[in-house]
Every structure is written in structure tokens, then in C-alpha cells.
Structure 1
């Protein structure tokens, strides 16, 4: 099922490049020094395209942008309610967190409630992105552990589901009941069969789909309301949890957290590795997905901010928006050196 070999690799890259458009530019002086190409698509709650740039059919790995989809079986199975999970824990299940104290303490507590510990995780150790947490480990002469992994909240959710299903300990394996439940939910909300799968940074399978399929999933989350069936209730609860606890989804200084705070409950957004970004806009009934081809985070953050402004949920004058949309580049001495701009014709 996985793509393999030079020919498959070349075909995938070529197909992803096809139809890409300029999205974000980096200017230094009077020269465009870097130009980031990509694709973006906006859909309504029925999955119909509202607007698109580039190729909506480009096949991508959503990476961590689809964690709310991976969390659907946690709620739909009844595992979340049986474990008494709070909205803050549901937000953490969708997180790519910084490994700050608020994150590591929450994951440790969650595992403890199940009678489990760090050794039960299968995400691997990772140095915290949060500087105080990283420095505290250095001062204590300690090494990072799996709880510091940015995906440890998602994996705590996997363990909760696994305990409910009675599966084996290796819950990241593709044919494990946890991952098969995730696969089924993924195909249902994207509206298409997966194009393959790869191993994500946290060792769990990541399923490939078209950018349109990913946007379609976000559109369905945007249209979901509690009390309208098992799937819609789960989608609405996860969206609300993310919007209510943006600090659990990423962390201080991170785009997901800063922009969700700036939008004050109007959208749930989530980044993924290699410059993927998605957004759920319940009040507008819209789902958004984008991919910057070269994998540059500065470009995906600028692109999603531009689309959030375009669709009326983000004030372009808000400091969190200005920091991503058109940030100034300065030298080590503070001299103005350039700026990042959204390309003409995009958003």
C-alpha cells in the first residue's frame, strides 16, 4: 500500500507539483529572494469547492493537521466518555504541543488515571520545543522522554481507545484495531479511499489523501453540531475543545495557539509537518486545507493567516495576524532587511 521505489517517488512529487501556484514571497531589498508554491482549497459543509488555488486533487500526507480526524474513534466508540475525558483532554488529543509543563503534566496525569505511564506510549522521546521545559531538563541532567513528544496527547487518546477496545500494546501498527478505526473514520470524512500510507514522526500511520479530501473533512467538522448524531457530535466536541483550549493544541508563540486566541472561538486551526495547514470555520460553514510544496512553515503560516483574514474570522490588524502575514525581517543589529508577503493573486 505504501509508495516505494524511485519511480513511485518521482511520480508522487511530479503530481504534487502539477498546477502549484505562488503563495508566499520573501523579499530582501528589491529582490524576491524566495518564492513558495503550493495548493489551497476552501469547501462548504457539503464538500463543494468554494474557491481553490493550484490543484485541489494534489495528493499529500496531512501529517498532524488531521489529528482531530484521528481522534474521532476516541469519542465515537464511547471510550472518551467512559474515561471521563474533559474538553481540555480532547484538545490535547488533537495537539502538536510544545512539551511545556502544562502539556507534560496533563499527559502524565491522563496516563496515571488509566494506571499507565510513559512506558506505555509508542511515540518516542522528543526534546521539548518549549524553552523553559528544555532548559529545566538540561539543568536537572535529565533526558527528554515520550511524554515530551509533541504527539503524546494524541497517543494518550490512542491508549484510551485501545483500553476500551481491548487491543494489544503495539497500537501504532497499521493493522491494529486503533489504527483501523482511525483509517475508517479518515476515509469516511475525506470521502475517498486513502492513496497509501507512511509512518509519521510519532510512529503512527499517516494516511495520504487529496487536498480536496482533507478540506472536505474540515468542511464536515465545520457543519457538525452536537446532538445531530454520533459523528457530528464527536466532530463538534473536538472543534469546540480546540477553540476553547488553544494553549493545549500547540503552545506559547505557536501559530495555532496565537491565531485561535485572536479569532476568539470563530475557528479551529491545525498545522501539520511539511507545511500543511487546515482550518474549521463553524460560523461560516467552511473547511480549508493548504499545502506549501517546499515544506516551509513560515509560508504555510502566512498562507493560512491570509485565508482566515479573507473569510472574515481574523482581524488583519491583530498582532498575531501581522506577525504571520507580513512580518519584517531584521538583521542581527535590528536593521530592516526584508519582509514576507502573500503573493499577488493568492487569497
Structure 2
């Protein structure tokens, strides 16, 4: 097996204090590898980076249209949001349009990452609910599809029609059979893929004319929704939101837990997949930013990029004490 390589470094003063190793791959529309670091065959959980793949059956089944979903709901189906009002209000309205409520979700409650929302709950003496979960949009999508496919209320079970459809779409887009699944933070199955397979899926989301017509339409609509509503797929301060907004349609990127990123580059007809082995988001943010510079999607000096390829770490007095730097080999 090819060993992981350094994707990001931690410098304190003039000395290297630590490194983050992992794997990354750039894949073209044919499924071929354009460039790779580490092991393209490494097996990973794509985690939330695969939400756009899990959402494909929602659109291609016709369930999204029959439920009257617009581009905002499609973006939320792919989101790892921060639980801000802009997210929770829309998810609540979506559930209400289905005649459902927060109690129908199976993602579990989560304290909002959005500070304003978190403080508002505290000041009101309220506790967070499942709509605050960063995956509540994905789960609203699952519930919408479940109305179409049936199968009972426990739509997160691996043998439920919703999850069978999500697995089939994931495997078809990756061009490989998943060797298994684990339970994600939101309780839904997350299907293992090779890094190359996940990159292949991202490339197919980018080059939709390589897909059958119904899937091509679904993929185009999901990517367009994410590009049109970057604040809905993450939130203020998130790399997914800020870099996708800056790219203005040239790239749609999506983070996942444990140091994963997927990127869809429609104009370049490329996909990117990366995994930081120790799961550090600070390193995956740096690595994805560097790869987008490499491909000419955004310049190195763009604020959304510069703040991540050399992320300053401040101590408790606000002093700039260290920096996370993307590995030069990625550029």
C-alpha cells in the first residue's frame, strides 16, 4: 500500500511542530487519475462529503418535484449546516409542508455551531432539537423520499428502501461496490468507498453529460443548488460555504467529518477527494484550498483560500502563535 503523505504542516516560530498526513486524488470525467498523493486505493468513509450522492434518489425519483422542493431545499439536502436560523427555519418549513415535524427526524439533537443560534437558545432557556442537527436537511430529504418509496418510519435502517437507494446511487457513481458501511454521526449509514471511487463520483457529478439523462438532471440540479446557496450548505466561516461562494460555479466543495473533502469542478470536468488520516479539519481545509489553487480555480491570494493555506493560530491572548500551512507538494 502507498503510504500517506504530508498534506499540511503545523509551524510554531521557525520550527516544524507537527504534520497531518493523508491521501488525495484528482479524477477526470473518464474516471482516470489526473494526480494523486498517498494511496488512491485507501478505503474511507466519505462522511458528509457524500451527501450529494445520497440526495440523488430524492431528485431522480421525482419525489423532490412532487413535494414542491426548490433549490434551497436541494441545497439543504446536501448540507452540513451550523444550525443558524437561516437553516433551521427552512428545514422546519420543509417538514411542515410534508405534514411532518421534528419528531419524525432520526438524526438526534445537536447544539448549534452558529453562535447566535446557540446563545438565543440559552437565553430563552431552550434546549437544541433535531432540526439544529447539521444533517437535518439531509434527513428531511430522506423523509421526502420515504414518502415516495414507503418502508416505514425508520428510514435510517440500512435495509430501508431509502438507504438501499442511497447505497445504489453511491456505488453507481463511484463505479465500485462498497465493501460495507458504518453509522454516521446522524445515525444514517455511511458507505465505504476507495478514495479513487469517491473522486470518480465527484467527477461524474461535474461531467453530468456522462450520466444517463435522469441522473444527469438530478446531479446538475443538486450541484447548481449548492452553488446558488453556499450559505445553506455550511454557514458563516465554513470552508464549504466560503470557497464555494468564491468559486462562483467553478467549484462546489463539501466537507465531511474526520478530515474528508469532496470537490466538484463542472467547468474543468474534474472531481477531487481527500482524506486527512488524523481527521483534522484544519488540515483538510488547507489541503482542499491548495488543490483548488493548483487547478486554477481560485488564486492563492483570495481571502477564502489564503486564510486556509496558511491559517494563523492565535493563543488565548490573541497573539499569532503558530500557523497551519498546506504542503507545497499540493500546489
**TM tier, shorter chain?**
over 0.9
User: Are the counterparts in 2 of residues 225 and 233 from structure 1 also a CA contact under 8 Å?
Assistant: no
For the residues of structure 1 that align with 2:274 and 2:121, how far apart are their CA atoms? 36
For residue 3 of structure 1, what is the aligned residue in structure 2?
A: none
Question: Aligned to 1:35, which of 3, 11, 19?
Answer: 19
User: Are the counterparts in 2 of residues 108 and 117 from structure 1 also a CA contact under 8 Å?
Assistant: yes
For the residues of structure 2 that align with 1:266 and 1:223, how far apart are their CA atoms? 12
C-alpha distance 180-152 of structure 1, shift in aligned 2 (>3 A): same
For residue 11 of structure 1, what is the aligned residue in structure 2?
A: none
Residue 329 of structure 2 aligns to a residue in which SS? coil
For residue 264 of structure 1, what is the aligned residue in structure 2?
A: 248
For the residues of structure 2 that align with 1:132 and 1:329, how far apart are their CA atoms? 23
For residue 180 of structure 1, what is the aligned residue in structure 2?
A: 164
Q: Where do 4+ consecutive residues of structure 1 move more than 6 Å?
A: none
User: Are the counterparts in 1 of residues 294 and 330 from structure 2 also a CA contact under 8 Å?
Assistant: no
User: Are the counterparts in 1 of residues 29 and 203 from structure 2 also a CA contact under 8 Å?
Assistant: yes
C-alpha distance 132-221 of structure 1, shift in aligned 2 (>3 A): same
Residue 269 of structure 1 aligns to a residue in which SS? strand
Question: Aligned to 1:282, which of 231, 242, 266?
Answer: 266
Q: Deviations over 1:194-250 (max 9, x none)?
A: 011110000000000100000000000010159960011111111111001000000
For the residues of structure 2 that align with 1:336 and 1:141, how far apart are their CA atoms? 36
User: Are the counterparts in 2 of residues 24 and 342 from structure 1 also a CA contact under 8 Å?
Assistant: yes
For the residues of structure 2 that align with 1:228 and 1:275, how far apart are their CA atoms? 32
User: For structure 1, which runs of at least 5 residues remain unmatched after alignment?
Assistant: 1-14
For residue 82 of structure 1, what is the aligned residue in structure 2?
A: 66
Residue 345 of structure 1 aligns to a residue in which SS? helix
Question: Aligned to 2:202, which of 211, 215, 218?
Answer: 218
For residue 336 of structure 1, what is the aligned residue in structure 2?
A: 320
Residue 271 of structure 2 aligns to a residue in which SS? strand
For the residues of structure 2 that align with 1:269 and 1:75, how far apart are their CA atoms? 20
Question: Aligned to 2:6, which of 18, 22, 27?
Answer: 22
For residue 137 of structure 2, what is the aligned residue in structure 1?
A: 153
For the residues of structure 2 that align with 1:328 and 1:306, how far apart are their CA atoms? 16
For the residues of structure 2 that align with 1:123 and 1:97, how far apart are their CA atoms? 13
C-alpha distance 252-225 of structure 1, shift in aligned 2 (>3 A): farther
Q: Indicate yes or no: 2:73 matched with 1:106.
A: no
Residue 184 of structure 1 aligns to a residue in which SS? helix
User: Are the counterparts in 1 of residues 204 and 211 from structure 2 also a CA contact under 8 Å?
Assistant: no
For the residues of structure 2 that align with 1:129 and 1:326, how far apart are their CA atoms? 23
For residue 213 of structure 2, what is the aligned residue in structure 1?
A: 229
Count matched residues.
331
Q: Deviations over 1:161-220 (max 9, x none)?
A: 000112200000000000000111111000111011110000000000100000000000
For residue 278 of structure 2, what is the aligned residue in structure 1?
A: 294
Q: Indicate yes or no: 2:190 matched with 1:206.
A: yes
C-alpha distance 226-48 of structure 1, shift in aligned 2 (>3 A): closer
Q: Indicate yes or no: 2:61 matched with 1:62.
A: no
